[in-house]
Structure formats: structure tokens, C-alpha cells
Structure 1
Amino acid sequence: MNVLGKIKRKIHNLSHPELGVVLMLHRVVDSRSRIAANRDLEITADFLEHTILEYRQKGYIFVNLDEVADIIEKGNTKHKFVCFTFDDGYRDNYEIAYPIFKKYNIHFTIYVTTDFYEQKALLWWYMLEYLGVTDEEFLAYREKIFNLKTDQIESAFREWFPGRNYSFADMVNKMSLTVAQIKELSDSGLCCIGSHTVTHPRLDKLTPEEQRDEISTSKNKLEAVVGKQVEHFAFPYGCYNADTVLIVAECGYKTAVRAYGGIVRKGAELLQINRVFLR
């Protein structure tokens, strides 16, 4: 960044002070993965506790997403906030993370992909690891998968790994939250259940009609599970376009979060809230 750019950024930051941070997590595990890209999705329980204590020591307040929305709308806060959010709907969110948040009485959100608990999700990132690919091979396969639609992934795996013994169904059954766990989390008062689409696609690769189906259907399904309004959304992979934001608003969501962008500043848009990847 040149000198003029640095000056403009400093002026922007002065007029848009920090309000807080929304943290993006995926998994809390006992042992982390072999593949680096999957390892990036994982933290340990000790690291989560350390993060909580560090933010507490710095004087941050722990808030839920409704409170984040209120702070953004007001444009100010006496104390900077931190909000914990998880994407996808992994079972360890319930088994390992939830007891830690209960211990400290801290609110958190899980953005659930409905295909996870319906045991239809294709966890291709963990399947590639199971099938023994290297880190370099993983990145090459990931690039190909990002250019496929969800219903093309299984046939691609059959082509890439002929004769290999694996089961997407067994993997998601072992790794995903159950309906009962989602309901218990929602009823706890500590966990907000948000939507993360039905199949976890790159929304920017879909038509507006396909996007609406993913965004609206997941909301309806989750509301049937938790028995309350689902008002918060996360863009899968952080990928979206102008159509996506419009559809999210039309479907009745109160907030939507990105997968990047850094801290939350004054003037943030409720349907494009920045997050920081905790890893």
C-alpha cells in the first residue's frame, strides 16, 4: 500500500472506529488433522479457553448476534465486543465446545448446513484426507471441486478414486450434529442456531433462483427443528454476490456474516458483517 493509501485508510479508521470482532470457527477437536487446509478448520479445547480468557482480560464484552446487530445499528459501544460463531454443524461443537461456553456462560452461534444433520452432506475436504491425498493434491482437488455443483461431486470422486472403499454417508453420520443436539443447543439459551444453506454451495456460482432455494429452504428446515425464528445467516466459503445479499434480506434474515474482512467497525452492513478466522 502506498503512502496515500495508508493515509486514506487511517482517515477511514478514525471515522469508523472498531466496535468489536465476530470470530469464525468450525471445529474444536482433541487432535488436529493431517491435511493443513483441514487443520485450519480446527482448534483445541485449550486454545478456545485461552481465547475466551484473553478477550476477557482485554475487557471485551461477550455478546450474541442480536446484540451485535444492536451495536452496529447504534454505531457505538462502551466496551468492544467479541462474538463466537461456528460454521457447518460439526458434532464436536456440541461435545467439546458447548461445555466450555457453559462453563463461562458465553453465548455462541452455530450456522448449520441442513444437509449435515440430514446426513446428506458430502464432506469432501475430510474425505480427501481419508483417501490419503497429500497437501498439494488436496489443493488441486479443491480447485476442481469449487468449479462443480454439489450434485456433481460424488461422480467426480468415483472418477478420481476408482475402486476405493469409502462412504460419504458414514462420514457425515459420524461428524455432524444430530437434530436432538441442535434442539438442545437452541433450548439452552446460550446457543443461537443460524442458517448456512442446505448443501453448502458457492452461492456466487448459482442462479438467483437456486440461491433462493438454498437460503430459504435451510431457514424453513431449521425453524422446524428449533421451533423459533432463524434470523442469522452465513455465506458458505464467504462467497456471494449482489443477488445473494438481496435474497438474504427478502428471506427475512436479520444479519449475515462473511468469512473474512477483519474487525467490525462503525458503519458495518448488517447483511455483510466481517469476521475473523480463529485458528
Structure 2
Amino acid sequence: MLSSRSRHRLFEAGFRAVAATGADRWLAPVARGRGLILTFHHVRPEPPAAFAPNRLLAITPDFLDLTLGMLRARGFALCTLDEIPERLAQREAGPPFCALTFDDGYRDNAVHAAPVLARHGAPWTLFVASDFAGGEGRLWWVELERAVARLDRVRLEAGGQRIDLPARDPAEKGRAFEAVYRALRAGPEAELLDRVGDLCRAAGFAPGTVAEELCLDWDALRTLGRDPLVSFGAHTRSHPMLAKHPPGTARSEISESRARIEAELGRPVRHLSYPVGDRSSAGPREFALARELGFATAVTTRPGHLFATHAGHPHALPRVSVNGCHQSAPALRGLLSGVPFLAWNRGRRLDIG
């Protein structure tokens, strides 16, 4: 199995090949959908540390600026999530469109992303996990990174597997993080949280303290909400991988999040982002829940552009992740063309299973 570093090198080589052959232009009429939804997480100017396994979740303000400029240059109309169902239902396609979404509710979105978006007049949606806004909840992927960064050796049991790996330098820490991440993601979420909590304590800090540091609180969200370009969506209450939980838990996570956001911010919440959002985290059951709860749209992290057939499935919309490991013009051109997703999705336009 390829390591994450090897996968990213392979992806970058693919982006360069697409750009070098001009496939991002001559295949775009076939590959590109009517539009797309871009996914962002952190936006911050600091360069990543030598050990930064979550670097894929962070881009710089300059790269966000480049992204918005390229969207305009390539003829994309920036739109809100509210507009997407109508745009998909139109008989004639019209110019391509793009909606911008930011997951989790990070403070750096207000500090570093909002000014760039304002300069471009770009509407955007911030998906808020309500526990994070309350200074609670577990950003376990950050906790895991911080624990491994502090430890010289990583020891734990997960799913009957014993992990005991050195973590003395960035390379060893990267291998240890990846081994723990893969083992824990494959099992129950309760075990994941417990084992990451154990590593936090072994590293000398308490789990559950990251949200207050990294995420916007309710007062900051209310201040941000004065910006007419920003809208808010629900990202559940505690950011669970919904498909790993019973139906009642999944329903309450979604509905309680929306109710809390609406009560705190005084505006309706019409859109949902499934946490993690891949196949192991959100599927047909979650799509049906979002529909039953009355959301206008719900977005996954399944990769792809939007096609007319998505009009009938607005609660299973794909998104295109702007990845911090690929902050390059060739990568952007490839993503906006839709060409990489021809291979990724094996020619399918609709992925709702």
C-alpha cells in the first residue's frame, strides 16, 4: 500500500502530465460538469512544519487568491449553495459555476480567508460543527498529530493490533502517524477517540482542548455573519463519521447541530456537510436523513464535478478538495477541468451508492 507521501507525489505527477499534454483544455468539454463545489479547511500563511501529516487540510491565502483568480479566468461564475439546485435543473447548461465551502469553522477562515474572498466578491459557506463552536468536541486528527509530534515512541493497541513504533524524527513520526491513523479509522469511532486520548495523555496534554484554540466561537461567528458574502451550514454536533453510528445518533447529530446554529446565529441553516464525507462516513442512509430533515443540499467529500443528473440527488453532492499538498497552478487547472475525475470515478458522473 502506498504511503500518503507517495500518493501525493503520484497525484502531483498526474497533474503535471495533464497540464503538459493540454488535457485540462481539450478534455474539459467531456470531463467538466455544469459546475463544482470546492472544499477548503484551513487558510493560513505559515509554512508547514517538517512533520505535518494534516498539511493537506491547509492552504495559504496566496493560493486561495490564485484559485479565485483562475476560476474567473476560466469562466466560472461564483455562486451560493442556494443556487445550485436551480442551476442543475436548468435545461440549458450555461457557463460553469462554482460554490466555495469551508469545513469545521476554523478561526483562520475569518482571519485569512475572509479578506481574500471579500476582494473577489466571492460568496462562501462555512460549515460549523456546533460542539467546536462551543469550545468542546474532539478534533482528533489534530490531537493525533500533536501527540505524535511530542512523543519519541508511539505505542497503542487498536482493533487487536499492537502498534509500537519509533517517532524520533519527522520521517519516523510520519510513519507512526499513518500506521495509527489507518488502524483507528478502520475501527469503531469510540475506540478511535479513546486511543487518541490515551496518546494525548502520554504526550502530556488533555484531549478535547483543541477546538477552543482553533475554532471560531459563537461570538466570533456572529461577527463573521455580518459579512453579506458568508452563509452558515451544519456540520453535525460533534463531527462523527455518521455511517459508523446508529440511525438515531446520526439523526440527532444533524438536527441538534442545525438547531444550535440557528439559535445562536439567528438565521436559517439550509445546507449540510457530512463530516469526513467519504464512503465510510456517509452513504445512502445519511443522504436519506438529510432529505427527511429538510436540507436543501448536503455535500460529501466524494470527488467530482456536478452534472445535470445530480439535480435528482441534492443530498449526495460531490466536492473537489483544494489540497494543501498540491498548491500549484497545474493542480488547479486539472481540478477545474474535471479530467482527473474521469479516471477516479471510472467514467461515472453519479456516485450515490
Identify the TM-score tier after normalising by the shorter chain: 0.7 to 0.9
Does 2:48 correspond to 1:48?
no
Q: Which amino acid aligns with 1:24?
A: T
Does 2:295 correspond to 1:250?
no
Does 2:220 correspond to 1:181?
yes
Q: Identify unmatched segments of 5+ residues in structure 2.
A: 1-28, 150-166, 168-172, 324-353
Identity of aligned residues (%): 28
Counterpart of 1:275 in structure 2 is 319
Q: Which amino acid aligns with 2:98?
A: V
Shift of 1:104: 1.4
CA contact (8 A) 2:139 2:208 kept: no
Does 2:169 correspond to 1:127?
no
Counterpart of 1:10 in structure 2 is none
Shift of 1:185: 2.6
User: Residue deviations 1:76-111, cap 9 Å, x none?
Assistant: 442101111011111101111011111111100111
Counterpart of 1:30 in structure 2 is 45
After superposition, the Cα gap between the structure-2 partners of 1:267 and 1:218, relative to the gap in structure 1 and judged at 3 Å, is same
Matches of 1:104 and 1:29, distance apart in 2: 18
Matches of 1:47 and 1:95, distance apart in 2: 15
Q: Which amino acid aligns with 2:184?
A: I
After superposition, the Cα gap between the structure-2 partners of 1:44 and 1:127, relative to the gap in structure 1 and judged at 3 Å, is same
CA contact (8 A) 2:41 2:103 kept: yes
Q: Which moved more, 1:134-143 or 1:101-110?
A: 134-143
Q: Which amino acid aligns with 2:290?
A: V
Matches of 1:32 and 1:67, distance apart in 2: 35
After superposition, the Cα gap between the structure-2 partners of 1:121 and 1:52, relative to the gap in structure 1 and judged at 3 Å, is same
Work out which of the residue numbers 245, 257, 270 in structure 2 matches 1:231: 270
Task: Point out 4+ residue stretches in structure 1 off by more than 4 angstroms.
Answer: none
Matches within 5 A, 1:24-173: 24-34=39-49, 35-131=51-147, 132=149, 134-146=173-185, 147-150=187-190, 152-153=191-192, 155-160=194-199, 163-173=202-212
Shift of 1:141: 1.9
SS at the partner of 1:86?
Answer: strand
Counterpart of 1:264 in structure 2 is 306
Matches of 2:197 and 2:318, distance apart in 1: 37
Shift of 1:261: 2.5
Q: What is the count of residue pairs matched by the alignment?
A: 265
CA contact (8 A) 1:28 1:92 kept: yes
Counterpart of 1:20 in structure 2 is 35
Matches of 1:168 and 1:202, distance apart in 2: 18
SS at the partner of 1:18?
Answer: coil
Matches of 2:137 and 2:41, distance apart in 1: 15
Does 2:240 correspond to 1:198?
no
TM-score in terms of structure 2 length: 0.70
User: Residue deviations 1:16-75, cap 9 Å, x none?
Assistant: 972111101111011243445410001000000001011111111110101122201225
Q: Which amino acid aligns with 2:94?
A: K
Matches of 1:69 and 1:198, distance apart in 2: 25
SS at the partner of 2:239?
Answer: coil
Q: Which moved more, 1:50-59 or 1:159-168?
A: 159-168
Matches of 1:157 and 1:136, distance apart in 2: 16
User: Residue deviations 1:144-197, cap 9 Å, x none?
Assistant: 4322335x5553235345543113344221100111221233332211100111
TM-score in terms of structure 1 length: 0.88
After superposition, the Cα gap between the structure-2 partners of 1:159 and 1:185, relative to the gap in structure 1 and judged at 3 Å, is closer
Q: Which moved more, 1:75-84 or 1:141-150?
A: 141-150
Instruction: State the Cα RMSD in Å.
Output: 2.0
Matches of 2:284 and 2:124, distance apart in 1: 28
Matches of 1:203 and 1:169, distance apart in 2: 20
Q: Which amino acid aligns with 1:216?
A: S
CA contact (8 A) 1:112 1:195 kept: yes
CA contact (8 A) 2:237 2:257 kept: yes
User: Residue deviations 1:211-266, cap 9 Å, x none?
Assistant: 10111111101111221210100111112122211111111100001102311111
